[in-house]
C-alpha cells in the first residue's frame, strides 16, 4: 500500500487485470477512524490494509463518488467488519446505491457482477457541502455529467490539495443518466480549482497542478469529440483526427492507435495520418511503460 501524503493511501491502484476502481483511504487519526473513498467491485483488494497494521473494523466511513457498481459494489461487504459504517453519496445517485437496480444501468461493463444495496447515512444535496471527519474537512463538489449524482471530494491536508474524483474522464456521452453538457460544465468548474494531486478512479494519480488542469481539459476535448463521432457523424475524419491527437496528449497510445487505424481506413491516402500512426507506434507497448513511469514519478516512498 502506498502513502500519497501523510495519512492518505492508495489501497487499490490501477490494475488492468483487476476490475473495479482505484480505492483510496484517509486515516483521520480520530474517533472517526479510517475513511475509504470508493470501495470497488469486491472486497478482496481492501484486505491489503491489514498488512500495514490497519483493521477493517476501523473503516467507519465510506465516501462514494457515484452510483456505478465498480465504485460501490463491495459496500455491503464492508458492513461485515463494521455494522455501523456510514456511507455517503449525492442524493441524485442515491437510488442506485440504496435500491437494487439492473447492473446494465450501473455500468454495462460489469453485467456479470452483483451487489447488495446499502443505506446512505447522508445524501449530499448542495454543491460544496462539507463533511467533517475528525479534524478533516471533505468538501463535496457536485460534478454531474458522468452520472447525475457524481461527486468529487476535495481535501486539503498539510500543504497538499487533493481531489478524489471517481470517473472524471469516464464516458460522459449521454448513456443512462450521463449528460455531456453537464459534464463539460462540471469539468470547467474543476479547472478553476487548484488541485495538487488528482486521485482518479481508473487512471491513478495525476500531478502536479498544471498537469491536473491539462488532464481535465484534455478529457473535455476528448468527450466532446467522442460524443460528436458516436451521436452525430462517425465518418467525420477531422473530428476523428482531433480525437486521436487528444488521446496521444493524454498518453493513451493504445486507444490512439485504434483511432488512427480507423482514420486510415476512412482516409487511406492521408499522409499526415500515416506519419501520426508511426509516431504512435513508437510508444508501443505503451500502457505498461506509462504505468511504470507514473509509479516512479509519484511514489518515492513505497512501503
Give me the residues that bind Zn ion (CB under 5 A), please.
68, 167, 170
Angle between helices 253-266 and 271-282 (to 10 degrees): 160
Q: What element of type H or E holds 211?
A: helix 209-227
Closest distance between Zn ion and the C-beta of residue 89, in Å? 12
* Closest residue by beta carbon to Zn ion: 68
Closest distance between Zn ion and the C-beta of residue 107, in Å? 6
Given phi > 0 = left and psi -120 to 50 = alpha, else beta, which region is 156?
beta
Residue nearer to Zn ion on the CB measure, 161 or 202: 202
Task: List residues bridging with 35 in a β-sheet.
Answer: 26, 61
Residue nearer to Zn ion on the CB measure, 60 or 68: 68
Residue nearer to Zn ion on the CB measure, 68 or 228: 68
- 3-state DSSP call for residue 174? coil
Assigned C-alpha cell, 193: 480549482
Residue nearer to Zn ion on the CB measure, 167 or 224: 167
Closest distance between Zn ion and the C-beta of residue 143, in Å? 12
Closest distance between Zn ion and the C-beta of residue 146, in Å? 6
- Single out the residue of 195, 190, 165 nearest to residue 71, CA to CA: 165
Closest distance between Zn ion and the C-beta of residue 172, in Å? 10
Residue nearer to Zn ion on the CB measure, 198 or 240: 198
Whole-angstrom distance, CA of residue 149 vs CA of residue 138: 17
Amino acid at each position: 500500500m502506498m502513502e500519497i501524503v501523510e495519512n492518505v493511501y492508495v489501497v487499490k491502484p490501477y490494475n488492468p487485470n483487476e476490475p473495479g476502481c482505484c480505492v483510496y483511504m484517509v486515516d483521520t487519526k480520530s474517533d472517526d477512524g479510517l475513511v475509504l473513498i470508493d470501495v470497488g467491485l469486491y472486497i478482496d483488494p481492501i484486505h491489503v490494509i491489514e498488512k500495514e497494521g490497519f483493521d477493517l473494523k476501523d473503516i467507519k466511513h465510506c465516501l462514494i463518488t457515484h452510483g456505478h457498481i465498480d465504485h460501490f459494489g463491495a459496500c455491503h461487504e464492508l458492513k461485515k467488519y463494521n455494522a455501523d459504517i456510514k456511507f455517503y453519496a449525492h442524493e441524485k445517485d442515491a437510488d442506485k446505491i440504496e435500491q437494487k437496480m439492473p447492473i446494465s444501468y450501473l455500468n454495462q461493463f460489469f453485467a456479470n457482477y452483483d451487489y447488495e444495496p446499502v443505506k446512505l447515512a447522508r445524501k449530499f444535496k448542495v454543491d460544496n457541502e462539507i463533511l467533517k471527519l475528525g479534524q478533516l474537512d471533505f468538501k463535496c463538489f457536485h460534478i454531474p455529467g458522468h452520472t447525475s449524482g457524481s461527486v468529487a471530494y476535495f481535501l486539503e491536508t498539510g500543504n497538499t490539495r487533493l481531489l478524489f474524483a471517481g470517473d472524471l474522464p469516464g464516458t460522459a456521452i449521454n448513456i443512462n443518466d450521463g449528460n455531456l453538457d453537464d459534464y463539460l460544465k462540471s469539468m470547467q468548474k474543476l479547472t478553476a480549482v487548484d488541485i495538487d494531486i488528482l486521485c482518479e478512479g481508473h487512471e491513478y494519480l495525476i500531478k502536479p497542478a498544471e498537469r491536473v488542469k491539462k488532464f481535465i481539459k484534455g478529457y473535455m476535448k476528448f468527450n466532446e469529440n467522442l460524443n460528436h463521432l458516436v451521436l452525430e457523424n462517425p465518418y467525420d475524419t477531422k473530428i476523428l483526427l482531433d480525437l486521436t491527437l487528444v488521446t496521444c496528449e493524454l498518453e493513451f497510445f493504445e486507444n490512439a492507435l485504434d483511432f488512427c487505424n480507423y482514420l486510415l481506413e476512412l482516409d487511406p491516402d492521408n499522409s499526415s495520418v500515416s506519419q501520426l500512426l508511426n509516431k504512435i507506434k513508437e510508444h508501443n507497448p505503451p500502457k505498461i511503460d506509462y504505468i511504470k513511469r507514473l509509479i516512479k514519478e509519484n511514489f518515492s516512498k513505497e512501503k
